[in-house]
């Protein structure tokens, strides 16, 4: 027999129906005893049927439980969190701030302990993590090193990690500034990264001495790129084009990569901005003693020639080779203290004295490239304080670096000239636009 479930409303209606039927039956029985119009003959009654008075009428109410219907399954909620790496941070501390549960934190630390990425937690960078509402770690990503991505994903309750190169998106910026006190102050006012200011000094290092030549009112325009990972700045890219107006003279540079893979900065006409020698062996410093034939020596207390340039700088400041060359000498030598001498092509040598220590691996005969760190500023030998003594020697004689005309690197090769002109046209146009805006603002 099939029973249909009743609602409470249906149950009440069944009770009312039962009572009405009972009352109606009794009324009909009473009415049938009257011989009026032969109504008795209208009812067919089976033989031996008991009277209606003897029929027991009961109200039966059954509570039928309703079947349970499963509600539609809901997908578990997940959340993306991010945490900036702080100075002195450990990955355990970062996982704790990300509110990863204890079990997953321990498992992560176990499988990622030999990861290169976890040994390169750079302050300021960001770690992204996807978790469930109860702190289960589902995935984690961290951009580290030289455009690499550390990726962790949980599949079937098992962590899997990988480290792979990533392709970053490039975003172009155009900024300009005016020198009022210093280069870094001007780039800060223009909201430019410090790395761009350093690149600017390196690009024009052969034409502008950023320690002696800067003047109030000098101005610059820079086109540079930043590299983005999923819309977030991953790192500052390179300068693509720049103009620096120093003492009224304009210096322009555009970046270009030649067909043989060599790259560098050139004038819009295709001449290389890289000279055989940098103007200075220090990134930032000030000249404390110039090249002169008569200077009162602070240690010997007598007048004598000073055949070099002294750059005052804190102990430990990196010293760079001003040109490609080979180490001719590295060691201690009389008043020079710790000294490095580099021999360059042809008739040139450079000397770097009073070093606190030498660069790791530096030895006689080692080949050095322009810009390589060869030692660190100190005060060894006859020195009253930390500084670098720098000499340029031509045919064995010390010469004033600011007065010697030094050779330049070769220009753009003829086979690359058309590609250079097409590739740098838009960069030069950007520089011209920014220059016009600058001059318009002065009027």
pLDDT digits (tens, 9 = 90+) for 268-300: 999 988 877 887 888 755 555 544 554 444 554
CA 326 to chain centre: 37
Predicted confidence at residue 284, as pLDDT, reads: 57
Select the more confidently predicted residue: 324 or 274. 324
Do 267 and 189 share a structural domain?
yes
Predicted confidence at residue 349, as pLDDT, reads: 93
- Does a structural domain hold residue 44? no
- Residue 172 DSSP SS3: strand
Select the more confidently predicted residue: 115 or 2. 115
Predicted confidence at residue 212, as pLDDT, reads: 75
Predicted confidence at residue 61, as pLDDT, reads: 58
Which residues make Cβ contacts (< 8 Å) with residue 107, sequence separation at least 6?
Answer: 159
> CATH number for the domain including 270?
3.10.450.350
Do 442 and 371 share a structural domain?
no
Select the more confidently predicted residue: 128 or 7. 128
Do 385 and 300 share a structural domain?
yes
> CATH number for the domain including 374?
2.70.70.10
Predicted confidence at residue 289, as pLDDT, reads: 53
- Does a structural domain hold residue 27? no
Q: What number is the average pLDDT over the span 215-228?
A: 91
pLDDT band of 74, cuts 50, 70, 90: low
Q: Which of 151-155, 278-282, 338-342, 347-351 has the lowest mean pLDDT?
A: 278-282
pLDDT of 354 over the 90 cut: yes
Q: Which of 52-56, 167-171, 201-205, 292-296 has the lowest mean pLDDT?
A: 292-296
Predicted confidence at residue 60, as pLDDT, reads: 58
In angstroms, the CA 429 to CA 331 distance is 51
Select the more confidently predicted residue: 217 or 294. 217
pLDDT of 316 over the 90 cut: yes
Beta strands in 247-380, from DSSP E residues, in sequence order: 249-257, 263-266, 286-289, 292-296, 303-306, 309-312, 318-320, 325-333, 337-343, 348-358, 367-368, 373-377
pLDDT of 8 over the 80 cut: no
- Does a structural domain hold residue 6? no
Two tokens, residue 177 = 């500034």
Predicted confidence at residue 67, as pLDDT, reads: 56
Select the more confidently predicted residue: 269 or 143. 269
Do 266 and 174 share a structural domain?
yes
In angstroms, the CA 302 to CA 296 distance is 5
Predicted confidence at residue 251, as pLDDT, reads: 94
pLDDT of 21 over the 60 cut: no
Do 306 and 253 share a structural domain?
no
- Does a structural domain hold residue 54? no
pLDDT of 358 over the 70 cut: yes
Number of domains in the chain: 3
pLDDT band of 335, cuts 50, 70, 90: confident
Do 202 and 125 share a structural domain?
no
The secondary element (H helix, E strand) that includes residue 143 is strand 137-144
Counting residues of the chain whose pLDDT is more than 90, the rounded percentage is 40
Predicted confidence at residue 396, as pLDDT, reads: 85
Select the more confidently predicted residue: 408 or 4. 408
Do 120 and 172 share a structural domain?
no
Two tokens, residue 410 = 């070769």
CA proximity to 435, closest of 243, 168, 203, 153 = 243
- Does a structural domain hold residue 430? yes
| Structure-derived torsion over alpha carbons of residues 353, 354, 360, 363, reported in degrees to the nearest 10 | 40
pLDDT band of 227, cuts 50, 70, 90: confident
pLDDT of 51 over the 60 cut: no
In angstroms, the CA 376 to CA 388 distance is 9
- Does a structural domain hold residue 33? no
Do 222 and 314 share a structural domain?
no
Do 356 and 427 share a structural domain?
no
- Residue 376 belongs to domain spanning: 286-399
Q: What number is the average pLDDT over the span 28-48?
A: 43
Q: What does pTM read for this prediction?
A: 0.53
Predicted confidence at residue 108, as pLDDT, reads: 93
Do 219 and 154 share a structural domain?
no
Q: What number is the average pLDDT over the span 57-64?
A: 58
Do 414 and 390 share a structural domain?
no
pLDDT band of 27, cuts 50, 70, 90: very low
Q: For the chain, give the mean pLDDT.
A: 79
Which one of 133, 165, 197 terminates a domain? 165
pLDDT band of 233, cuts 50, 70, 90: confident
pLDDT of 164 over the 80 cut: yes
- Does a structural domain hold residue 22? no
pLDDT of 320 over the 60 cut: yes
Which one of 165, 180, 214 terminates a domain? 165
Do 432 and 389 share a structural domain?
no
- Does a structural domain hold residue 30? no
In angstroms, the CA 299 to CA 379 distance is 12
Predicted confidence at residue 165, as pLDDT, reads: 84
């Amino acid at each position: 027999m099939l029973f249909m479930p009743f609602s409470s409303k249906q149950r009440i209606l069944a009770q009312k129906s039962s009572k009405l039927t009972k009352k109606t039956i009794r009324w009909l029985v009473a009415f049938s005893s009257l011989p009026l119009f032969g109504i008795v003959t209208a009812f067919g009654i089976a033989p031996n049927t008991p009277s209606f008075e003897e029929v027991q009428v009961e109200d039966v109410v059954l509570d039928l439980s309703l079947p349970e219907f499963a509600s539609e399954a809901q997908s578990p909620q997940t959340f993306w969190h991010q945490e900036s790496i702080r100075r002195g941070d450990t990955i355990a501390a970062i996982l704790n701030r990300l509110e990863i549960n204890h079990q997953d934190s321990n498992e992560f630390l176990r499988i990622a302990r030999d990861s290169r990425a976890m040994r390169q937690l750079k302050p300021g960078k960001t770690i992204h993590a996807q978790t469930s509402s109860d702190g289960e770690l589902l995935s984690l990503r961290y951009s580290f090193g030289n455009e690499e991505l550390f990726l962790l994903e949980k599949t079937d309750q098992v962590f899997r990690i990988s480290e792979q190169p990533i392709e970053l998106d490039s975003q172009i910026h155009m900024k300009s500034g005016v020198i009022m006190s210093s280069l870094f102050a001007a780039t800060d006012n223009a909201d430019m990264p410090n790395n761009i200011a350093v690149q600017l000094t390196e690009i024009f290092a052969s034409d502008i001495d950023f320690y002696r030549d800067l003047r109030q009112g000098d101005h610059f325009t820079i086109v540079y790129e930043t590299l983005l990972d999923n819309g977030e700045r991953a790192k500052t890219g390179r300068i693509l084009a720049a103009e620096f107006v120093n003492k009224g003279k304009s210096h322009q540079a555009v970046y270009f990569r030649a067909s043989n893979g060599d790259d560098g900065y050139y004038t819009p006409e295709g001449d290389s901005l890289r000279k055989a020698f940098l103007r200075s062996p220090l990134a930032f410093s000030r000249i404390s003693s110039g090249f002169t034939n008569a200077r009162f020596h602070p240690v010997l207390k007598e007048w004598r020639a000073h055949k070099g340039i002294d750059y005052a700088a804190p102990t430990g400041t990196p010293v760079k080779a001003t040109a490609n060359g080979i180490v001719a000498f590295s060691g201690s030598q009389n008043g020079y203290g710790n000294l490095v001498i580099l021999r360059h092509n042809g008739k040139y040598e450079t000397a770097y004295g009073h070093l606190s220590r030498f660069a790791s691996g530096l030895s006689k005969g080692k080949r050095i490239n322009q810009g390589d760190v060869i030692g660190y500023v100190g005060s060894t030998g006859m020195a009253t304080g930390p500084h670098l003594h720098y000499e340029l020697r031509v045919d064995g004689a010390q010469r004033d670096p600011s007065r010697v005309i030094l050779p330049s690197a070769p220009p753009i090769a003829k086979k690359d000239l058309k590609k250079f002109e097409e590739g740098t046209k838009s960069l030069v146009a950007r520089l011209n636009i920014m220059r016009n805006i600058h001059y318009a603002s002065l009027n």
